[in-house]
Amino acid sequence: MTAPAAATTPSPLTDLSRLSINTATTRQQWGLEQAVAGYAAGGVPGIAVWRDQVADCGLDRAARLIRDAGFTVTGLCRGGMFPAPTEAGRRAAIDDNRRAIEEAVALGARCLVIVSGGLADGSRDLAGARAMVRDGLAAILPEARAAGLPIAIEPLHPMYAADRCCINTLGQALDLCDALGPGVGVAIDVYHVWWDPALEAQIARAGGADGSGAGRILAFHICDWLVPTTDLLLDRGMMGDGVIDIPRIRGWVEAAGYDGLCEVEIFSAANWWQRDPEEVVSVCAERFLEVV
């Protein structure tokens, strides 16, 4: 028998001061204005928002509501989706990402979350798609740097490589950061990376253990992996209802120097999107203190 790995003990979470909720978690029940009010009423100090909800609310109004509520904006979702079969399509994606940068700045977001995009329509060229992602990011980085807005590459589980995101491991995301230079880091979502045997080492690398200097962990997203998972996109679990060792991963992330908020992000068509959103917020808060 091999001995169990030494436990990583993260700092205890004794209050909600490091809790953020991504509005995707209540998106079927609440628009942005309701989410802002509902999260604030639940004592949640952080929020992450989606561009479509911001557009529905109006950018200026959304920024004012969020500022008045005193939230830390842990991210704007999302930029990316760079691969396209035509030059015009790739240019349109880059232009859209430039608008996303402006929106993130107006909202005071800590980062713009990038979901890279998968294969270009009609293509089987995965390496080509990854090159389009690199080129797209390189094209928008000058604006992001000038605005002081960090770009957070979020690796997604490989089951999304074809249609959503061809950056599939933390190591791959960090290779991209190395290639692109300053102004770009990673969003670590336990749902997407929990299975990766290299995760602990890559989290340490993201914190600068490879000699790269400043920490590149820009966001930490939490939820849980249900067994069985019945939908590839819309069946994420509440923390504590699945099999991810969240405290262990949080310990690694904090040991790597990340001291920001933990952002609950749950897409759950059949369960949490069907519940009273105030209940969802209170369960997020309870579980945050119990199992994160």
Q: Euclidean distance between the first and final Cα of the chain, in Å? A: 29
Nearer to Zn ion, 90 or 221 (CB): 221
Conformational region of residue 275, where left means phi above 0, alpha means psi within -120 to 50, and beta covers everything else: beta
Nearer to Zn ion, 130 or 221 (CB): 221
Beta partners for 188?
220
Query: To the nearest whole angstrom, how small is the minimum distance from the Cβ of residue 54 to Zn ion?
Result: 17
Nearer to Zn ion, 82 or 120 (CB): 82
Nearer to Zn ion, 23 or 120 (CB): 23
Query: To the nearest whole angstrom, how small is the minimum distance from the Cβ of residue 266 to Zn ion?
Result: 10
Q: Report 28-87 residues binding Zn ion (CB under 5 A).
A: none
Q: Judged by CB under 5 A, which stretch of 50-58, 134-142, 170-178, 213-221 contacts Zn ion?
A: 213-221
The DSSP 8-state label assigned to residue 160 in this structure reads G
Q: Judged by CB under 5 A, which stretch of 32-40, 221-229, 241-249, 284-292 contacts Zn ion?
A: 221-229
Nearer to Zn ion, 119 or 152 (CB): 152
Yes or no: say if 206 and 217 are a contact pair by the CB < 8 Å rule. Answer: yes
Q: Judged by CB under 5 A, which stretch of 164-172, 196-204, 250-258, 260-268 contacts Zn ion?
A: 260-268
Question: What contacts 69, CB < 8 A, 6 or more positions away?
Answer: 36, 37, 39, 40, 47
Q: Report 130-189 residues binding Zn ion (CB under 5 A).
A: 189
- Rounded to whole angstroms, the Cα distance separating 180 from 153 reads 11
Beta partners for 75?
48
Query: To the nearest whole angstrom, how small is the minimum distance from the Cβ of residue 236 to Zn ion?
Result: 9
Position 221 contacts Zn ion (CB under 5 A)? yes
Q: Report 187-206 residues binding Zn ion (CB under 5 A).
A: 189
- Rounded to whole angstroms, the Cα distance separating 167 from 179 reads 14
Within 10 angstroms of residue 38's Cβ, the number of other Cβ atoms is 19
Query: To the nearest whole angstrom, how small is the minimum distance from the Cβ of residue 222 to Zn ion?
Result: 9
- In one-letter notation, the amino acid at residue 41 is A
- Rounded to whole angstroms, the Cα distance separating 150 from 47 reads 17
Yes or no: say if 187 and 150 are a contact pair by the CB < 8 Å rule. Answer: no
Nearer to Zn ion, 254 or 265 (CB): 265
Query: To the nearest whole angstrom, how small is the minimum distance from the Cβ of residue 172 to Zn ion?
Result: 16
Q: What residues make contact with Zn ion under the rule CB under 5 A?
A: 189, 221, 265
